[in-house]
Amino acid sequence: ALLPYVPRVPPAALPGKLTATTFALERPHCVFDRHANASDSVWLVVAFANASAAFRNPASRAHVPCYERLPTTRSYMTLETAAAAYACSSPSPAVLRVGGDTACGHQGGRDPCNGPLPSPGPYRVKFLVMGCHGPKAETRWSDPILLRRAGSPSTINPAPTRRGSKVVIIAAVLASLGTALAVALLSTVGYRHCLGLCWGGCSGSSTFARSSYRTHHIPPALPQPLPPPSCCAPRVPSK
């Protein structure tokens, strides 16, 4: 059966949606429920865009094209998943990562590998439902998916980019303003510091003047004795 579903890269902005060796793919949901049993599996077919029309569905799992033969067969199958994982009642991640398994070279081609893609492509993908007796249903092919190209070191200009005259003028003005503000700040701090020193010096000198005035060479004044009573004082008559 040919299903009307078309695989696609998520339209929303996602980190690493397209890289030099991988791409994100929307996970199908409620697509295979009426065409797959619990024992069936769903595969992802990855092919170069110019080789997708020549791809032929394998008759059984033993004939599935593996990742290691991509350079010669121009297509491979990966991400074997139980059909129940795509059912309507099954919660699942929103995206699939194609090309995210960097350990594929150590598997010896025994398992379906999801290895890094060897070139920018473009690629086309489709989902294929396979049962015990071979293919049962498939989706349409996606639109061509082009990966990011890694920049060549030879294209990098080692010389720094020359700035425009406006940028240079703005930078010079900002530098001058920064210098003026720094000088004004230092002047203010220096003035307050000197002012504190001056006030401290004046109070210190007056204290020193008062404390250095000593009178130890002048003998202290002795108390004067009271004068004796005068004999001419009138006498009070006794009663």
- Residue 169: strand, helix, or coil: helix
Predicted TM-score (pTM) above 0.85: no
Domains and CATH numbers, the chain: 2-150 (2.60.40)
- 93 residue type, one letter: P
Q: Which tokens hold the place of 72?
A: 């010669």
Identify the pLDDT of residue 90.
79
Per-residue pLDDT tens for 176-230? 777 767 666 666 655 555 445 444 443 444 443 444 444 444 455 445 555 544 4
Identify the DSSP state of 18. B
Determine contact, residues 121/48, Cβ cutoff 8 Å. yes
Per-residue H/E/C for 55-85: CCCCCCHHHCCCHHHHHHHCEEEEEEEEHHH
Residues 53-81, mean pLDDT to the nearest whole number: 93
Lowest mean pLDDT among 25-29, 101-105, 169-173: 169-173
Q: Which tokens hold the place of 178?
A: 């920064």
Lowest mean pLDDT among 84-93, 107-116, 124-133, 166-175: 166-175
Residues of the chain with pLDDT > 70, as a percent, come to 62
